[in-house]
Amino acid sequence: MKFSLRNKSKGAEILQQGDILNKETEGLSQSQIVIQRFFRHKAAMIALAVLLIIIIFVFSVFDMQFLFFHYHGWWKYTISDMPDLAFKECPNNTVGCPTLNLRPHFLGGSGLRFGDHPFGQDDVGHDYFALVIRGAQRSLLVTVIIGLVGGTIGTVIGAISGFYRGWIDAVLMRFTDFIITIPTIIIGAVIGAHFGNLGVSFLALYLGLFAWTGLSRLVRGEFLTLREREFVDAARVAGATNRRIIFKHILPNAVGVIIVSVTLLMSGAILLETALSYLGFGVVAPDVSLGLLISRYQDAFSTRPWLFWYPGFFIVTIALCINFVGDGLRDAFDPRQRRKISRKERNVTLKLRARND
Amino acid sequence: MITYIFRRLGTLVVILLGSSFILFNLAAISNDPIGELRLSRAPNAKELILVTTRELRLDLPPPLRYFMWLKNVLGTLVGHGNLGVTRTHESVASALGAAIPTTLRLVSAATFIAIILGITIGIVTALRQYSQFDYIMTFIAFLLFSLPIFWVAVLLKQFLAIQFNNFLGDPKITPFWLSGIGLVSGFLWASIIGGTRKRFWSVFVGVGIASAAIIVTIVKSHWLMNPGLGPFGIAIFGVGIAFGITHLSVGLSDKKALKASLFMVVIGLIAYYPSQIAFRNDHKAIIFPFMVLLTFLVAIGATFIFSKIDRGPLFRTTLLTAITISAVTILDKLMHTWKPYFESDAINGRPVPTIGQSNSLLEPGNYWLTTLDILMHLVLPTMALTAISFAGYIRYSRGTLLEVLNQDYIRTARAKGLTERTVIMRHAFRNTLIPLTTIIVVDIASIVGGAIITEHVFGWNGMGTLFNNALNNFDLNLLMGVFLVTASLAVLANLVADLLYSALDPRIRVGSQ
Amino acid sequence: MKKWNRSAKAALALAASAGLVFGAMSPASAATRTSVVIVESNSFTSLNPNTSGQNLVMNTDIAYMTSMGFYYYNNEPSIIPNTSFGSYKVISQKPFKVQYKVNKGIVWSDGTPIDGVDLLLSHVISSSAYSIAAGLGDPADTKAPAAFDSLGYNGTYDQNIVGEPVLTSDRMGVTVTYKAAIPDWVLSSPGAFPVHTLVELAAGEKKLGSGPHNLAAKNKFLTAFKTKDTKTLKAMGKIWSSAYNIDAVDAKTNPLLLVNNGAYLVSSAVKAQRVTLTLNPKYNSGPKTHGIEKIILNTISDGTAAVQALANHEVDVYAGQATADGLAALNKISGIQVINALSATWEGVYLRSGDGPGETDHYTGVFANGSTAASKAQATDIRRAFLMAFPRDEIVEKVWKPLSAKSGPMDSINYFSTFPNYKKMVANNGSSRYTAGTQASRTTDALKLVQKYYPTTSASAPNVKIKILWGSPSNARRISEAAIIKAGLAKAGFDADLTPEVKWVSLLPSNKYDAYFCGNGLSGVFQAGLTGGWNSGADQYSGYNNPAVDAAVKKLQATVLTDDEIYAQYLIVEKNVYDDAMSVNITQWPAVTAVSQDLKGIDPSPILPETVWNFWEWHY
């Protein structure tokens, strides 16, 4: 008895929530709804803000050249500068400890200070802040390229094979199987051995060409399900072209899955590059990436922890933010998704209900 | 359907032919096997170069060497070929035969835990979408998902092995750690349980103090050195388990099931002392299957005693309870083995290892010591692998369940007045499993390929190490052997996933002819 | 769901308190240990490291600890005769004859006495002539290996042996005749091998034989050896080349495979994980051991993992290439002593003056000698400027000093600072051209020299383009070195391209590079072992061709010389190489060994077998 009572009240509450939801989206286009929902997703908004701050911060550090416009970075060192070691007497008999200090005077620290080498220096004197920032630039670049290349190929192949089925599907999916069987690390090794000096974009491009298989299978699955739905039948009966059905009817419904997968792919890309660097197949010196730094200084964590933690901090933060943004987008794109009903709104509905009773 | 499967298997062969050709040639040009020898000043350097060239047939171009390899492998079809030998003259087949079980031992526990834990947490977060618990778990999941595995490994070894072992040498807990543990566990439980603000804070304070107290008692009473549950502990655990399983399986309103479950706990307790004797027996190979059989029989018996109709759900409940009770009894036995293990010369008071598959000094012979040793060596790698992989399951199961919960049939089920448990467990959860199954199948196939980095940092020699060594030592036969196993499994898993999907979701048709 | 959580929580809390009923702990007892656990970076694959594919460090270490011969290297390193095993002496100068004799009374681990017959197999696995004559196949064949798939062919012994070794009348040794007096004839000493087990294995036996049975087997080998019995020898060759390739040893392993004369014997091996060596009760072929009963070799390929395992006291000995952080981490671990030494590997920079061997194009860079005297003089000047400006001191200071306080610049092409003649050599070899004054003053001089030929270059805008080859781009030390080199050379007007190459070794002969820097290793101490490949020939990657150097190297390789004569020849090599500005060495690599504090007697050698060379002296 008790259970059924509780559920009845819950059912009523759901209806009420639906009312709020409808009111909220009345008179808005699909994209407006998505944007509005996304902006209300607190975690995603924070993550997006952090990510943007990191990107702006990271790319403002060094000089840059856009066609005729020359941008002057605000940091004095580049990754090839080798100033003398500022500190030769650091804890654990090491050198090059950081000057960054976030501990204020009243907590026993020496006050807020950025200093000459905020993240310290490596053995030969390179400014570690410059190295980490350059690494973060590289890792972001890898992420974006793999996300773009892998995301595009995966979506296109998945969409085509899921929509057209038949022999097109068979051929494309067997091609996907073919790509799945070739291990990424072999690609990394071959590129490292032969084109290592062509740079990180080249590496990312090649990895992107092999990183789309999971995504394409997901998108295909989504298309297979969606194309059997009533609204697709309706569109077809109404005389819509395949192109129109794909782009106007199925794709908007599949976009949630695609976005989540692409963000997973992108955060995975940072880790893939890290893993390849660890095994010696990633970014090649003198260029650096976060993965390269963290694997180079993996045994520094108990002696020169700053060499280990700063690149780690950037890897984790970037990956974390991308995942949260993806999460927010997924929720925003889900057409049936309800947003959180705040306590205030629930009270209003309860009052309304009470009055109706 | 059958023709479809055969056609897929046929294309598998074509795919393997194509990708093996590409892989072989890529690997052949990625390295120079006699490179190191060129710089060697050893008196027999010339001989070494000659021998290496002869063994690897470096006088022939890579495509030709590929076809020689292929001819040898295809020979297995007519009975006189093999997968070749490694550079150390071991047969590739036997190298694979040794590596696959190692890898399975390493990754199966982690995968199992990741799936169970991931799906459970995923469901809870979906049911409490946008709650504090949801946010915390999402954050933790993404955080773990964002960590490089070798980083996790280094940190785990430092804090959970080296420092924990040091701690065990002199178990004293500082107020800092105590308050930290109290705060974290209080916050965790409070946010899981949720509810009003007042309730949140009361749970927070209660759990916080309780866990700090438990930690203090555990440390002070040397329970860490000599742990065990005993019949009393098992009884308490058992009752909790009986209630929990009954609730999830058929609902607590089903009094028969609850009684049957509790009955199983009683049987388990009665069997406690006989099982201690059985554990001491030397013929484990006979005793263990017998005990498993007994567990089944008792579960069936209980079902017959407590119910006359609709025995299926009841049997499910009793069996689950019985299995869990048995597991707890075994856990208790292992806990009692802890003290002798801890004090043995081989362990010397440092029970959490950082490396390898078993202790190199422990004399074989004592079944429980050896088992505990193997389990201890699994602890850190399993934690590392679980940490990085379960996040994916949380996200997938949360997302899918949310989608399912918004479907019309769930609304209908609720509107019919079904209990929330029935709606979630019977309608929503089952449909959530459909897409998850296909993901899991593909994941399981890919784990056989091994975790290259995990195996490297924890000193395990499974498929991942084999692959890495093959690549670094220019061992093409070995590389291709590993490739054949992993690639065929990957392709087969995709086939199985496709078939499963169409079997579970009738809207999808496979091969549509 | 709520109910479950609450009940689970209650259960957990109560279970924990219930467990407290059981209590009372006693401290772990610490007995004197008798076992040592060593870290190895690769896996065990064979009991016979002399066959193809098996000469891996772990296999050779195990072979070293399980078998004894006429000599071993100590950590100076110099050759120490193993008098417990036997003795050797020259019995005739012309023809050059050496007699190797085994002591009476020493035995294999199965109790069979060791005698001269056991030394004969060494000839079978080292002499190409014997292999061909006995119908065992030509070892130099590029298609198929000989019946004994040995790595010993084509060495000094093979090139100089005349006829076959002859058993002495008391059967306790062999007499070997060489073409002429060869340097380092001790190194060509025959190794002992339990030939009776080989015969028994070839006959398919699975158990240790009795005394008379073993003696009969030994005689069977002797007859086969003398008569060149192809069939018997081929069967033995098959066993020798393949049956010893095992990676696991347990109760089922054929005990005949494990018979040996070393202080320790392989008692068990877990595939790809570890090998356990146990004391040989019948051991009398070498120095006495000091109470260690078991030596366990654990395979751990990751350096960081090995350091952490050491910190967790899972292993006792770890020797590896240290990083500054690894070293600091080791120093922090309590109960560990860190032994700093210098290894027999060193880092150097090598310039190109002519075409690399086997290349079809020609070298035309700034260091090219060219065909005229003027062009040669110019190239030599530029090379000298390069070496003068080469920031060697800075590299040593910043990259190598943090790894070992013992690190310092190496001012000789061939000699290590530990050699008795090192100081004399440095004073006379002409290296002072590149070490005199300060780095700043040398760089100023170098710039002037460069500007003489390339007036447009300067320290602020260097434009003399050079390409320097280096490898292992994942090696942090090399990366640091490359950065310092680039900056240092720029001050002398060189614009150096220092892109690393993964396949750098294959590119060594390439004419596209003006220089390369890399590590070089010494594998043993022999008369010509230090010449560093400066004689012209196929392994001469720098295109260097100097008749004086060629003559000196030839003399070192072919004639027995006194210490002073050896020094004189090396001085010729060094003077020429420095004068022609072909190379400077940077430093000797430090070698770090971390050992559990309780374990005594470890004193690593700079050359293989490094840490384990004096395993018999270890004790707790």
CA distances from residue C34 to A23, A141, A327 in whole angstroms, order as listed: 81, 55, 58
Q: Closest Cα of chain A to C325: distance in Å?
A: 5
Residue C10 has pLDDT above 70, yes or no: no
Residue A337 has pLDDT above 60, yes or no: no
Say yes or no to pLDDT of C9 above 50: no
Does residue C248 carry a pLDDT above 50? yes
Catalogue the E-assigned strands of C30-115.
Answer: 35-40, 71-73, 79-81, 86-92, 96-102
The pLDDT of residue C350 is 93
A202 within some domain: yes
B158 and B191 housed in the same domain: no
The predicted structure's pLDDT at residue A24: 57
Note whether B186 and B167 are same-domain residues: no
Question: DSSP string of C456-512?
Answer: T--SSS--EEEEEE---TT-HHHHHHHHHHHHHHHTTTEEEE----TTGGGGTT-TT
Handedness of CA C156, C160, C164, C166 (dihedral sign): negative
| Host domain of residue A301 | 42-82+135-333
Of C13, C22, C524, the CB nearest to B226: C22
Instruction: Please tell me the total count of domains within chain A.
Output: 1
Q: What is the pLDDT of residue A7?
A: 40
Query: Do B262 and B305 belong together in one domain?
Result: yes
Query: Are residues B262 and B374 located together in one domain of the fold?
Result: yes
Rounded CA separation B440/B501 (Å): 12
Half-sphere exposure of A133 (CA within 13 A, CB side): 27
Region C313-338: what's the mean pLDDT? 84
Whether residues B148 and B293 fall in one domain: yes
In a domain, B456, yes or no: no
C500 in contact with A at a CB cutoff of 8 Å?
A: yes
Q: For residue C451, what is the DSSP state?
A: H
Query: Is residue B119 located within the same domain as residue B143?
Result: yes
Q: What's the pLDDT score for residue B242? A: 87
Residue C165, helix vs strand vs coil: strand
Instruction: Report the C-alpha gap between C340 and C352 in whole angstroms.
Output: 35
| Residue B326: other Cβ atoms inside 10 A | 18
Tokens of A50: 């952090």
Residue A123 has pLDDT above 90, yes or no: no
DSSP bridge partners of C539: none
What tens digit of pLDDT does each residue of B334-357 get?
888 888 888 888 887 888 898 888
Question: In terms of domains, do B205 and B313 share one?
Answer: no
Sequence letter at residue C358: G
Tell me the residue type at B446: S
Q: Do C476 and A296 touch (CB under 8 A)?
A: yes
Beta bridge partners of B434: none
On whether the CB atoms of residues C616 and C288 are closer than 8 A, the answer is yes
Residue B460 has pLDDT above 60, yes or no: yes
Contact partners, residue B29, CB within 8 Å, separation at least 6? A190, A193, A194, B62
On whether the CB atoms of residues C619 and C598 are closer than 8 A, the answer is no
B contacts of C155 (beta carbons < 8 Å): 43-44, 47
Distance in Å, alpha carbon of A71 to nearest chain B alpha carbon: 32
Distance from the Cα of residue C353 to its chain's centroid: 30
For residue C140, is pLDDT > 80? yes
pLDDT of residue C502: 78
Question: Taking CA atoms, what residue in C is nearest to B356?
Answer: C273
Which of A143, A180, A257, A274 should be substituted to probe chain B, the one whose Cβ sees the most B Cβ atoms within 10 Å? Answer: A180
Asked if residue B147 and residue B259 are part of one domain, the reply reads: yes
Mean pLDDT of C20-48: 67
Q: How many pairs of residues across A and C have Cβ atoms under 8 Å apart?
A: 78
The tokens for A51 are: 């990510």
Phi, psi of B61 (to 5 degrees): -70, 150
Phi and psi for C346 in degrees, rounded to 5? -140, 165
A185 lies in some domain: yes
pLDDT at C473 over 90: no
* pLDDT surpassing 60 at residue C24: no
Task: Put the strands of the sheet holding C96-102 in their side by side order.
Answer: C86-92, C96-102, C173-178, C161-167
Question: Percentage of residues in chain A with pLDDT exceeding 90?
Answer: 13
Contact B229 C18 (CB under 8 A): yes
Write the DSSP assignment of B42-95 as a string of letters.
Answer: -TTHHHHHHHHHHHHTTTS-HHHHHHHHHHHHHGGGGTS--S-B-TTS-BHHHH
What is the four-CA torsion angle of C106, C107, C108, C114, rounded to 10 degrees?
70
Q: In the block, which residue shows the tokens 């430093």?
A: C587
Q: Both tokens of residue C351?
A: 């310039």
Q: Looking at the 3D structure of chain B, how many domains does it have?
A: 3
- Residue B473: DSSP 8-state: T
Q: DSSP assignment, residue C611?
A: G
Q: Output the 3-class SS for C396-421.
A: HHHHHHHHCCCCCECCCCCCCCCCCC
Question: B406–A338: do the CB atoms touch at under 8 Å?
Answer: yes
Q: How far apart are CA A58 and CA A143, in angstroms?
A: 14
Task: Check whether C20 has a pLDDT greater than 60.
Answer: no
Which residues on C lie below 8 Å from B137 (Cβ)? none
Residues B363 and B326 in one domain: yes
- Look at residue C492 in the predicted model and tell me its pLDDT: 93
CA distance A238 to A240: 6
Strand pairing category for C274-279 and C317-320: unpaired
Domain closes at, from B221, B254, B284: B221
Name the residue in chain C with its Cα closest to that of B340.
C28
- Is residue B384 within 8 Å of B454, Cβ to Cβ? yes
Asked if the Cβ–Cβ distance from C518 to B162 is below 8 Å, we say no
Q: What is the mean pLDDT of residues C353-380?
A: 90
Q: Is the dihedral of CA B159, B161, B163, B168 positive or negative?
A: positive
- The string of DSSP letters for B289-321 reads HHHHHHHHHHHHHHHHHH-SS-HHHHHHHHHHH
Nearest chain B alpha carbon to A8: B417
The answer, yes or no, to whether the previous bond of C609 is cis (omega within 30 of 0) is yes
DSSP result, A194-222: HHGGG-HHHHHHHHHHHS-HHHHHHHHHH
| Residue range A158-200, pLDDT digits in tens | 999 989 888 898 899 889 888 888 887 778 777 777 776 677 8
Yes or no: say if C49 and B246 are a contact pair by the CB < 8 Å rule.
Answer: no
| Same-domain pairing of B32 and B131 | no
Q: What's the whole-number mean pLDDT along residues B306-329?
A: 83
In this complex, the residue of B157, B229, B459 whose CB is nearest that of residue C299 is B459
Tell if the CB–CB gap between C329 and A307 is shorter than 8 Å: no
Give the Cα separation of C603 and C49 in Å (integer). Answer: 24
C-alpha to C-alpha distances, A70 to A64, A65, A66, C21, C206, nearest whole angstrom? 6, 5, 6, 75, 81
Q: Containing domain of residue B375, as a range?
A: 97-171+222-445
Does A37 fall in a domain?
no
Q: pLDDT tens digit string along C369-419?
A: 988 999 999 999 999 999 999 999 999 988 888 888 888 999 998 888 888
Q: Which of residues B445, B464, B483 is at a domain's end?
A: B445
Mean pLDDT of the region B40-63: 82
Please report whether residue B88 resides in a domain: no
Distances (CA, A) of C328 to A124, A208, C478: 17, 39, 20
Domain presence at residue B76: yes
pLDDT tens digits, one per residue of C155-194: 889 989 999 999 999 999 999 999 988 888 888 899 999 9
Q: What is the pLDDT of residue C280?
A: 95
Preceding omega of B381 cis (within 30 degrees of 0): no
Rg (CA), chain B: 27
Nearest to C300 among B193, B345, B355 (CB): B355
Determine the average pLDDT of the residues in A122-139. Answer: 89
> Pick from C51, C49, C64: which is nearest to C611 by CA?
C64
Interchain contact, B145 vs A294, CB within 8 Å: no
pLDDT of residue B439 exceeding 80, the answer is no
* Cβ of residue C15 closer than 8 Å to a chain B Cβ: yes
Q: Are B244 and B283 part of one and the same domain?
A: yes
Task: Read off the pLDDT of residues C69-103 as tens digits, 9 standing for 90 and up.
Answer: 999 998 888 889 999 999 999 999 888 999 999 99
What is the per-residue pLDDT for A354?
Answer: 47
**Does residue A129 belong to any structural domain of this protein?**
no
- Which range, A103-117, B268-282, C404-418, C570-584, is most confident? C570-584
- A59: in domain: yes
- The domain that holds A141 is classified in CATH as 1.10.3720.10
Of all residues in chain C, what percent are helix, strand and coil, respectively (each to 5)?
35, 20, 45
Domain-located, residue B205: yes
In a domain, B138, yes or no: yes
* CB of C495 closer than 8 Å to CB of C462: yes
* Alpha-carbon gap, residue C86 to C67, rounded angstroms: 14
Closest chain A residue to the Cα of C326, Cα to Cα:
A299
Q: Is the dihedral of CA B216, B221, B225, B230 positive or negative?
A: negative
Could you tell me if C342 and C404 are in contact, meaning their C-beta atoms sit under 8 angstroms apart?
yes
Give the whole-angstrom CA distance, residue C202 versus residue C238.
Answer: 8
Tell me what the pLDDT averaged over chain C comes to: 88
CB B169 within 8 A of CB B152: no
- Chain C contacts of A94, Cβ < 8 Å? 324-325, 328
Average pLDDT over residues C304-333: 85
For chain A, state the CA radius of gyration: 26
Partners of A286 on chain C (C-beta within 8 Å) are 479, 482-483, 498
Greatest mean pLDDT among A149-158, B158-167, B202-211, C14-23 lies in: A149-158
* Nearest of B474, B471, B478 to residue B56 by alpha carbon: B474
Together in a domain, B198 and B267: no
Tokens standing for residue C512: 């596209």
Q: Which chains touch C (3 or more CB pairs under 8 A)?
A: A, B
Contact C476, C427 (CB under 8 A): no
Distance CA A323, CA B392 (A): 11
Q: For residue A354, is it within any domain?
A: no
Q: Tell me: pLDDT of C132 over 90.
A: yes
Which structure tokens are listed for A263?
């963000």
Rounded to 5 degrees, φ, ψ at A113 are -150, 135
Between the CA of residue B293 and those of A189, B264, B288, B303, C229, what are the distances in Å?
51, 15, 9, 15, 63
With 50 as the cut, is the pLDDT of residue C15 above it?
A: no
Beta strand spans in C55-125 (E): 71-73, 79-81, 86-92, 96-102
Residues 412-451 of C with CB under 8 A from A: none
Averaged over A263-289, what is the pLDDT? 81
